[in-house]
Structure 1
Amino acid sequence: MNATLAGIGALLLWAFLALLSKLAAGLPPLQLTAMSFFVAALTGLGVVAARGELGALRQGPLAWAHGVGGLFGYHALYFAALAYAPAVEANLLNYLWPLLIVLLSAPILGLRLGPRRLAGVVLGFAGCALLLGGGARFPAEAWFGFLCAIGCAFVWALYSVTARRLDRVPTGAVAGFCGGAAVLAALAHLVFEPSVMPDARQALAALLLGLGPVGAAFFLWDLGMKRGDPRLLGTLAYGVPVASTLLLIAAGAGAFTWNVALALALVAGGGWLAATAR
């Protein structure tokens, strides 16, 4: 149960991603990713070193490919999706990952789903679609961006579910994976984007992202996926876009409308069904 709570902590931190990204507006996305991951790596390595657990970084090629590939692969595909497809549609397809986590838990991990869990995740996706998919169109010319969006959903779902197969890899190793992702993001930034010198606001946003949604969240998520209930966490993940929207509204960047209220009710209902399933 404590591990599942850790996974819920990661979801709560991810709810701040949109708000902090808005604070960092003006920075190229790959540069912001590299900066945030560097903060996450340095902070994580500091904690691991203070606990005398630097040996956690000595992992085999499979663990490194899984960790760095999952963290960087998801973000690279997500940014490509936003570049080549309309943002609303790309974000909606990206949020297939909670549904995929629940569905993949059965064939990969042998966990039983049951009608209540399936109903819960369907309600969650319905709430997400209502919130993010208003007026969504899927023009044929944006097919590459849509493929990238579906790809990033599959990458994150597979990364999350298969983490349980690597449960002997300590969570402290995520610090090294963040460092690897930071290096890859920095190289991709130098190839594909112009560099921007961040001002104080943007630097603060990158720091907070690296400490929270692009930092501590990955450590908590790793623990939740390896020791907690991925079926429940996958369903509750649909609360992330709702909570993110509510934070933006609280910050004055939106209005509380009927579709936000209905999406909140659907996601809450789906989470309740999943949480009370045997």
Structure 2
Amino acid sequence: MSQQTKAYFFGISAVLMWSTVATAFKLALQWLSPVQLVLLASCCSVLVLSVILAWQRKLPLAWAYAKQRPGYFLLVGAINPFLYYLVLFKAYDLLPAQQAQSLNYTWAITLALLAVPFLKQQLRKQDLVAMLLGYLGVLVIATRGDLLAMQFDSVAGVLLALFSTLLWAGYWIINTRNQGEPVASLLVAFCFSLPMVALYCWWSDGLPAFNLKAWAGAAYVGLFEMGIAFVCWVMALKYTQNTARISNLIFISPFLSLFFISHFLAEAIEPATYLGLLLIISGLLIQQWRGKTKLAKAQ
């Protein structure tokens, strides 16, 4: 198997896993509150990441990182998984899955905006067009295509979904300062986050009682959304000879996700969801465009 074939294998595996998680979120939230889901999924993710690092003989790295930069990982862990997934799961709790997952894909546009003040990057024309298309897509999805009426299924849900993109973009901006091994770094962040999540869960909704369906759903989220999919994506980027080819695979995910939502949650997918998602994806593709000359050099 060639290096590029390995990259496609890991990349497609990650995309397939991410395509199922919107459905898993909604199913698990039938039995768990958002913070209870964060807690159980985080515990599962810590276990699977520890096993992966132990198998790779990199577990000592996590311990070294924790001792070297406790303040940094405390901040990162507070954002992801604690605040990001708490906000995201609350959005899923308030919105149809098709709306929540589609709105979440605007995080790359939010990242471009935050990169201006925090990374001193310039806002390009492509970014402005991407913003226009992306947030127009948000309005189309959130209003079910009735832009003039401006009626939302849940204003709070839409705002939370958009706020989650701010948190996720902020997490990646902070993460640019981390040169450590990505899987080990993620494990440390999750370990630092666990006490915060557990304390808030106990104080707010109470620790989750055992329920096989609930815990199985949380385990699925922890395994695939927070754990194995991330590792597969890291491996894909490691093996690929062209990052753009692998990165573009992510655009398959939202449409596959709608298929799973339709079949397993029995949500009727609104025409406005497809239109809004196409606007968002179009914006993201325009944002990635670097011009023919630069693209030729990258290939």
TM-score, normalized by length of structure 1?
0.74
User: Are the structure 2 counterparts of residues 125 and 238 from structure 1 closer, same or farther at C-alpha, using a change threshold of 3 Å?
Assistant: farther
* Distance in 2 between residues matched to 1:120 and 1:148, nearest whole Å: 21
User: Are the structure 2 counterparts of residues 256 and 87 from structure 1 closer, same or farther at C-alpha, using a change threshold of 3 Å?
Assistant: closer
Superposed CA offset, 1:99-141 (max 9, x none): 22011234433445422243234323322332234322888xx
* Distance in 2 between residues matched to 1:130 and 1:239, nearest whole Å: 20
Deviates more, 1:24-33 or 1:145-154: 145-154
**Structure 2 portions without partners, runs of 5+:** 145-150, 292-299
1:64 aligned partner = 73
* Distance in 2 between residues matched to 1:148 and 1:131, nearest whole Å: 15
Deviation at 1:47, TM superposition (A): 0.9
1:54 aligned partner = 59
* Distance in 1 between residues matched to 2:120 and 2:129, nearest whole Å: 19
User: Are the structure 2 counterparts of residues 104 and 169 from structure 1 closer, same or farther at C-alpha, using a change threshold of 3 Å?
Assistant: farther
**Contact 2:11 2:249 survives alignment (8 Å):** no
Deviation at 1:249, TM superposition (A): 1.1
What is the root-mean-square deviation of aligned Cα atoms in Å?
4.1
1:136 aligned partner = 152
* Distance in 2 between residues matched to 1:37 and 1:126, nearest whole Å: 34
Q: How many residues align?
A: 267
1:21 aligned partner = 25
* Distance in 2 between residues matched to 1:81 and 1:251, nearest whole Å: 19
Deviates more, 1:166-175 or 1:33-42: 166-175
SS class of match (1:16): helix
* Distance in 1 between residues matched to 2:40 and 2:257, nearest whole Å: 22
User: Are the structure 2 counterparts of residues 9 and 268 from structure 1 closer, same or farther at C-alpha, using a change threshold of 3 Å?
Assistant: farther
> Which of the numbers 128, 143, 165 marks the counterpart of 2:177?
165
1:45 aligned partner = 50
Deviation at 1:204, TM superposition (A): 1.9
**Contact 1:106 1:112 survives alignment (8 Å):** yes
Identity level (%): 23
* Distance in 1 between residues matched to 2:116 and 2:290, nearest whole Å: 15
Q: Does 1:179 align with 2:191?
A: yes
> Which of the numbers 146, 166, 180 marks the counterpart of 1:154?
166
2:213 aligned partner = 201
**Structure 1 portions without partners, runs of 5+:** none
TM-score, normalized by length of structure 2?
0.69
